[in-house]
C-alpha cells in the first residue's frame, strides 16, 4: 500500500480532477471500504445482517479491460477517458486501476499513428481514422487482445502498422479491427476483421477456461471475480442433484462454474453473440449438462413454471438497472427453493429484495465484495430462500 494510504490520505492521481472515473481517491483504501460498508448497511441492513466487505490485498491495476478514446487537441493526438459528463478526452499515460501493459500499448499506438500519418477521429468534422482502442488482458493466461476501433474500413499501410505494433509488444496475441462508421456514443461498431492471431483470447477463472471475444462481457476484476463467484457457490450449497437456472448468463461463466456441482443448468441470455460464446465455452470445458437459450429470462421462467418444471435454484446477475418486474413475477411464480442474487448496484438490489421478501423469500446471507476499488461501485451476493 502506498505511503499516501498509510498516512490516511487519498491517492495522488494527476488526472483525478479531470477524469472523474475514480470517485473515492480522496479516501485511503480502508476508508473506501468503510464508506462502501456504510452504504450497504444503509440500503440492505433491513433485510438481514450484512457481512464485512471483502476488499483487495492490492487494489491497483486490477482492470483486465481498458478502453481509450482518441482525439486531436491543438494538433496533438491524445488518448484516455472522457472527462466526467463530457466528450472531452483526458490524455492519460498511466492509470492506477488499469493493467500497465494496456497503458503501454496505448502509448505505442499514439506514436504509431503519428509515424504512419494517421489521424484520430474528430467528432465535430466526422473526419479521421482511429476512434477508440480496446485492450483485453488475460491475467492468468497472459494473452492480450487489441481492438482498433476505426471510423472507416480502409486501413492505410495496415500490415506495416500491425507488424510495427507486434514488434513493440510481442506479448499481444491477437489484433482486431472494428469499424464504427456511425454517429453514436457506442464504442464498438457492427463489423470486425481479424488482423493478427485468432481474434479471441482465453482466460482461466475458477479452474475453467473461457474464450473472450471483442464484444463479450467478462468481469473486469479477475481477482475479485473468483471471490465473488466462489461466494455464490458457497451460498448455493449445492448437493449434486439440483436443476438450476443461470439468468442473465452472458458468456456462461457462472453456469459453467456451477455445472460440476449440480445435475443440470439452463443458461438464458437475450444477447445472441453472448449465447454463441457461452456454447463455445461449454465445449471448451467439456461441460455436457448445460443448455443455453437466447431468450428473455422472465419469459423462459414463465414458460417453465406453466409446464410445472422443477427448478431448485436461480442464479441471477442482472445489469445495474436490476431485474424488471416481469422477471421478478416470473421468478416468484417459478418458486425455486433458493435464489442467488449477484448485484452491481445496491440501490436496485434493495428495490428487488423488497419485492422478493414480500413474496415468500427471506435474505439469509448478504456479502459485499469490492470489485471496483477507488470507485463508488460495489458488488453484492445475496442468498434468498423460501
Tens digit of each residue's pLDDT (9 = 90 or more) over 98-109: 999 999 999 999
Is the per-residue pLDDT at 3 higher than 50? no
Catalogue the E-assigned strands of 261-312: 264-269, 290-294
Strand, helix or coil at 19? helix
Is CATH 2.30.30.40 correct for 65-205? no
What integer is the mean pLDDT of 219-231?
Answer: 96
Burial class (CB in 10 A: 0-12, 13-18, 19+), 217: middle
Lookup result for grid cell 495522488: 12
Give residue 302's pLDDT band: very low, low, confident or very high (50, 70, 90).
Answer: very high
274 has pLDDT over 80: yes
- Listed by start position, the domains of the chain span 65-205, 221-385
| Model pLDDT, residue 10 | 62
The Cα 193–Cα 176 span in angstroms is 6
Of the pLDDT bands very low, low, confident and very high (cuts 50, 70, 90), residue 235 is very high
Cell of 137: 488482458
* Predicted local confidence at residue 9, as pLDDT: 59
State the chain's mean pLDDT as an integer.
Answer: 93
Distance CA 371, CA 226 (A): 10
pLDDT at position 127 is 86
Among 19-28, 54-63, 313-322, name the one with the lowest average pLDDT: 19-28
pLDDT beyond 80 at 1:
no
Strand partners, 127: 122
The cell numbers describing 149, all together, are 476501433
Reported as a single tens digit per residue, the pLDDT across 107-143 is: 999 999 999 999 998 877 778 999 999 999 999 999 9
- Spatial CA neighbour of 361 closest among 329, 332, 322: 332
Question: How far from chain centre, in Å, is Cα 318?
Answer: 12
Cα(50)–Cα(367) distance, rounded to whole angstroms?
6
| Residue of 164, 161, 169, 165 whose CA lies nearest to 143 | 169
**pLDDT tens digits for 350-364?**
999 999 999 999 999
**What value does the mean pLDDT take over residues 69-89?**
85
The CATH classification number of 221-385 equals 3.40.50.150
**Coil vs helix vs strand at 367:** strand
In angstroms, rounded to a whole number, what is the distance separating the alpha carbons of residues 117 and 125? 18
User: Which residues does the annotation mark as catalytic?
Assistant: 344
Kindly give the pairing relationship between strand 243-247 and strand 313-316.
parallel
221-385 matches 65-205 in CATH topology:
no
Helix (H) and strand (E) counts for the chain? 11, 16
pLDDT at 153 over 90: yes
| CA-closest candidate to residue 145, choices 216, 199, 94 | 199
What order do you get walking across the sheet with 76-82 strand by strand?
A: 89-91, 76-82, 65-73, 130-137, 144-150, 172-179, 191-196
Amino acid at each position: 500500500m502506498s505511503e499516501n494510504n498509510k498516512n490516511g490520505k487519498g491517492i495522488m492521481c494527476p488526472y483525478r480532477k479531470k477524469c472523474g472515473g475514480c470517485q473515492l481517491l480522496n479516501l485511503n483504501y480502508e476508508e473506501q471500504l468503510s464508506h462502501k460498508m456504510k452504504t450497504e448497511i444503509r440500503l440492505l441492513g433491513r433485510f438481514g445482517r450484512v457481512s464485512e466487505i471483502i476488499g483487495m490485498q492490492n487494489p491497483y491495476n486490477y482492470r483486465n479491460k481498458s478502453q481509450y478514446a482518441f482525439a486531436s487537441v491543438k494538433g496533438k493526438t491524445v488518448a484516455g477517458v472522457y472527462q466526467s459528463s463530457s466528450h472531452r478526452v483526458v490524455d492519460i499515460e498511466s492509470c492506477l486501476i488499469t493493467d500497465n501493459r494496456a497503458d503501454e500499448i496505448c502509448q505505442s499506438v499514439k506514436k504509431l499513428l503519428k509515424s504512419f500519418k494517421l489521424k484520430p477521429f474528430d467528432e465535430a468534422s466526422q473526419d479521421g481514422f482511429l476512434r477508440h482502442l480496446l485492450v483485453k488482458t488475460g491475467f492468468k493466461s497472459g494473452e492480450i487482445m487489441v481492438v482498433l476501433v476505426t471510423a472507416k474500413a480502409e486501413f492505410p499501410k495496415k500490415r506495416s502498422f500491425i507488424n510495427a505494433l507486434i514488434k513493440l509488444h510481442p506479448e499481444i496475441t491477437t489484433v482486431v479491427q472494428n469499424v464504427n462508421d456511425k454517429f453514436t456514443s457506442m464504442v464498438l461498431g457492427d463489423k470486425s476483421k481479424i488482423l493478427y492471431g485468432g481474434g479471441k483470447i482465453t482466460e482461466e477463472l475458477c479452474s475453467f477456461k473461457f474464450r473472450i471475444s471483442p464484444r463479450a462481457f467478462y468481469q473486469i476484476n479477475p481477482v475479485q471475480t473468483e471471490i465473488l463467484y466462489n461466494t455464490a457457490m458457497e451460498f448455493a450449497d449445492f448437493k449434486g442433484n439440483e436443476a438450476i437456472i443461470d439468468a442473465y448468463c452472458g458468456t456462461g461463466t457462472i453456469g459453467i462454474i456451477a455445472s460440476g456441482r449440480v445435475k443440470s443448468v439452463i443458461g438464458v441470455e437475450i444477447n445472441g453473440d453472448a449465447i454463441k460464446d457461452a456454447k463455445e465455452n461449454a465445449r471448451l470445458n467439456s461441460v455436457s449438462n448445460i443448455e443455453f437459450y437466447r431468450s428473455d429470462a422472465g419469459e423462459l421462467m414463465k414458460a417453465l413454471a406453466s409446464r410445472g418444471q422443477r427448478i431448485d435454484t436461480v442464479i441471477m446477475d442482472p445489469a445495474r438497472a436490476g431485474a424488471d418486474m416481469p422477471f421478478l413475477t416470473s421468478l416468484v411464480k417459478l418458486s425455486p427453493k433458493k435464489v442467488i442474487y449477484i448485484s452491481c448496484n445496491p440501490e436496485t438490489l434493495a428495490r428487488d429484495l423488497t419485492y422478493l421478501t414480500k413474496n415468500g423469500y427471506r435474505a439469509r446471507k448478504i456479502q459485499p465484495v469490492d470489485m471496483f476499488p477507488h470507485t463508488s461501485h460495489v458488488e453484492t451476493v445475496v442468498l434468498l430462500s423460501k
